[in-house]
Amino acid sequence: MSLAETQQTTARHIPDRLTTPLARTLKSWESLLLLVAIGIFILNSFASPYFLNAWNLSDATFNFTEKAMIAFAMALLIISGEIDLSVASIIALASTAMGLVMQAGFGTPAIVATGLVTGLLCGAFNGVLVTRLGLPSIVVTIGTMSLFRGISYIVLGDGAFRGYPSDFAWFGQGYVFWVITVELTIFAILAVIYGIVLHKTNFGRAVYAIGNNATAATFSGIRVERVKFILFLLTGLMSGLASVCLTSRLGSTRPSIASGMELEVVTMVVLGGVSILGGSGSIPGVVIAAFVMGLVTFGLGLLNVPGIVMSIVVGALLIGVIALPRIYQNLRRK
């Protein structure tokens, strides 16, 4: 049931994964996804006359930039065989902490630092519980999901923090150049950094190695627990960063902020071709998945589809994306 468990039972399938045509399917997953993205883009431009407008498209990027920031770190975490379901609650807690600092009269630098540090601390808390105490990450983060958001509710109740300083709005509402938002720029920079870290460094190799076989990774000299702890730290930090952007964009903090976002982040990662069982996946896949999800939600929004119906689409995407390759595989076996 926990990821590690499932991984052990399915570990025997890995060799035939490499030889069956599924490997090729997975290899072309990114290109398939890119085709889907282009298809949705064309459909959208037919569906609504308001779609093909630089400013509207720039607004559309807000649908995925904050989630994608977390999705990069989450991709690494899931590849390593763990998961963090508390990310949306970390956003809530970090946003609440920023609100408290803002009320105490501190300026933007202190507010931003508070958001990032809170995220880091939450990630460290998850990381310690998982790596030091050896608890399954799914249960730990289901627990901290309630705990972190619960603390926000204790602080805020049914109230809200408002009145962030005007220069704080830059993160979520500012533009770097023409229609290129600050958030989109952060997203692009992070995409490059995470791509290099995962695909070009020893650390990235270690993440794959752990996800495929943690025991073998240990025996080849990888400090498994430390790598996992760093990944939890990173996920927390990215959630803190997303919290800064989201709080800045909304201009207020409520304890219900970003609720349900963990699902969308996990969906984005899985849609990007990362195996939920760990061991495989790529950053380019996650980047394209972010665009696909952003385009889908924006297109549905232009067609006046309510948010909860979009969540059906997200839920169906999550299951469908994992189910389809398996159905395909089953059919091929017969």
Q: How far is the CB of 322 from other proteins (least distance, A)?
A: 5
Roughly what angle, to the nearest 10 degrees, separates helices 182-200 and 202-212? Answer: 70
Nearest CB to other proteins, comparing residues 61 and 275:
275
Of the candidates 94, 113, 87, 236, the one whose C-alpha atom is nearest the C-alpha of residue 161 is: 94
Count CA atoms closer than 13 A to 93's CA, side-chain side.
25
Nearest CB to other proteins, comparing residues 138 and 191:
138
Nearest CB to other proteins, comparing residues 105 and 157:
157
Across 274-304, b (16+ Cβ under 10 Å) vs e yields bbbbbbbbbbbbbbbbbbbbbbbbbbbbbee
Q: How far is the CB of 70 from other proteins (least distance, A)?
A: 16
Binding residues vs other proteins (CB under 8 A): 1-3, 5-6, 9-10, 83, 129, 133-136, 138-140, 142-151, 153-154, 157-158, 255, 260, 263, 266, 270, 276-277, 306, 308-309, 311-312, 314-316, 318-319, 322-323, 326-327, 330
Nearest CB to other proteins, comparing residues 3 and 222:
3
CA distance 155 to 150: 9
Q: With contact defined as beta carbons under 8 Å apart, do 143 and 84 qualify?
A: no
CA distance 15 to 86: 33
CA distance 37 to 203: 30
Nearest CB to other proteins, comparing residues 106 and 153:
153
Show the CA angle centred on residue 330, arms to residues 326 and 331, nearest 5°. Answer: 120
Nearest CB to other proteins, comparing residues 204 and 281:
281
| Three-class secondary structure assignment of 115-161 | HHHHHHHHHHHHHHHHHHCCCCHHHHHHHHHHHHHHHHHHHHCCCCE
Nearest CB to other proteins, comparing residues 54 and 154:
154
Both structure tokens of 143? 């627990």
Residue 245: exposed, middle, or buried by beta-carbon count in 10 A (0-12, 13-18, 19+)?
buried
Q: How far is the CB of 278 from other proteins (least distance, A)?
A: 11
Q: How far is the CB of 254 from other proteins (least distance, A)?
A: 12
Nearest CB to other proteins, comparing residues 119 and 278:
278
CA distance 85 to 74: 10
Q: How far is the CB of 315 from other proteins (least distance, A)?
A: 4
Q: How far is the CB of 171 from other proteins (least distance, A)?
A: 28
